[in-house]
Amino acid sequence: MAVQLLKLYNTMKTKRSSGILLHITSLPGKYGIGTLGREAYNFVDFLVESGQKIWQILPLGHTGYGDSPYQCYSAFAGNPLLIDVEKMVEEDLLQKEDLPENIYFDEDNVDYGKVHDNHYPLLKKAYQNHKSQNNKLREIRFENFCNNNALWLEDYAFFMALKKHFKGVAWTDWEADIKLKKEDSLNYYREQLADDINYYRFIQFLFYKQWLELKSYANLNDVKIIGDIPLYVAFDSSDAWANPDIFDFDERMNPVNVAGVPPDYFSATGQLWGNPIYNWNRLKETGFQWWIDRVEANFTLYDVLRIDHFRGLAAYWAVPFGEKTAINGRWVEAPGGEMLQAVYDALGELPIIAEDLGVITPDVVELRNRFGMPGMKILQFAFDSGEENDFMPHTFDKNCVVYTGTHDNDTTLGQYIQSSEADKKFMHEYFHVDEKDPAGSFIKLAWSTVGNIAIAPMQDVFRLDSQARMNFPGKASGYWKWRYTKGMITQKHAEELRKLTKLYGRF
């Protein structure tokens, strides 16, 4: 593994390439949400045809309240909603007549409630069929998967079975004995919920099987997957419940401080995320083993990792639990350098991208540079005529990843429409932006920079406006819904990207 990762690491630092940012949920399909099925393979084919070497996605985790891929029930488990039902038919776990018929699903946006209601009964039926079929080969593969992933799978499956038993409430509201993990209570519920626990193991087996097959197809076509690793885990997660000692909890397993960011570009009151903050002293005592295990598991899923909120490894914004906004937090130094060194010592040189956005101080830059990580440059942030910034292309060095925008930004067309006349004039002076096709101009500019990697969200390739925005930081619900429809990708899109990619030496 270390040799393969080192090759990827060196390639990422030296070889010019480009790619597309598109989450799995945004793919087209008949059942309300993008999945790991045929349309995902078709998208890989589009990347190949257009000369792209990178597919960047958002975290693949099992999402909770708000449907954000950055707030998941586990730092390791995959999202069951991404399991493709048609592939389950191919594997004889479902029959074709089991699939939803005469049910309308919105093709442009994910209706998560409706998808939940239709998808989970199919997963349950697939599990029941698996038990009754006595398929020896599948049983052996399932057993191997459980053994190889027991480190996280047992906690996740038990947590989800408990969460179902307690009607979906957060683990902090469970009965005291199981919340506090008293041994008698653990043994009782393991026995009582044994079948549900095995069901959650099984759906992870299905997810990993489908995802790793898709990833193999991408890799065989010379397409690498960039995946996100959120710095923090969700408070209502198997990670927090199963490992309370590595988080800033009191003796009753209630949080003392929670995560967020101070007032910034996106919010005048900051962003109160509510994620548990790490007990870094305890993590040090363990040699940062939980982080080592997490990063290693993520490199099973992805070829390259982007650490979201990287600046929190230098210093993090700690907000006292119970605050209504993030204003009254404070900066606390973090031993991110020690943690990363422990990870690198255990796993070797790693292809990691630092999401170095937000309040960036010299210690963040030093930490990123110490490990040779490329940072991020967002062109949408560059053209503020009122102030200087580090996002102007003439300030870039090669070791960076250049984006037109990210999942947290408006689309480039949406941003341009809302820009002031002064900012538009600045863009015209700097790179002759085409006012009839600003998104195309930004893609061309990104591809033309010296940055080793250039990436555009698929919304920009499609020239979509603000209605296609994926997320708005600080807003708890109403986002993560955008999808494109079958037929939107055309030969023209492939030819345009291929031409740019060849022109600017990223082919």
Q: Is 84 a catalytic residue?
A: no
Among 58, 78, 77, 76, smallest CA distance to 68 is for 58
Neighbours of 282 (CB within 10 A): 15
Half-sphere exposure of 37 (CA within 13 A, CB side): 22
- Which token pair is 69? 């891929």
Q: Per the structure block, which two tokens stand in for 107?
A: 């093709």
Instruction: Kindly report the number of other CB atoms within 10 A of residue 365's CB atom.
Output: 16
What sign does the CA torsion over 28, 30, 36, 39 have? negative
Catalytic pick from 196, 228, 303, 355?
355
Burial 258-275 (b: 16+ CB within 10 A, else e): bbbbbebeebeebbbbbb
Residue from 84, 356, 408, 410 carrying the catalytic annotation: 408
How is residue 216 written in tokens?
A: 């193999």
- Catalytic residue at 86? no
Burial of 1 (0-12, 13-18, 19+ CB in 10 A): exposed
Rg (CA), the chain: 23
Q: Render the burial of 154-173: b for 16+ CB within 10 Å, e for the rest.
A: bbbbbbbbbbeeeeeebbee
Alpha-carbon span 468 to 23, nearest angstrom: 13
Q: Is 323 a catalytic residue?
A: no
Q: Among 67, 155, 196, 308, which one carries the catalytic annotation?
A: 308
Give the residue numbers marked as catalytic. Answer: 308, 355, 408
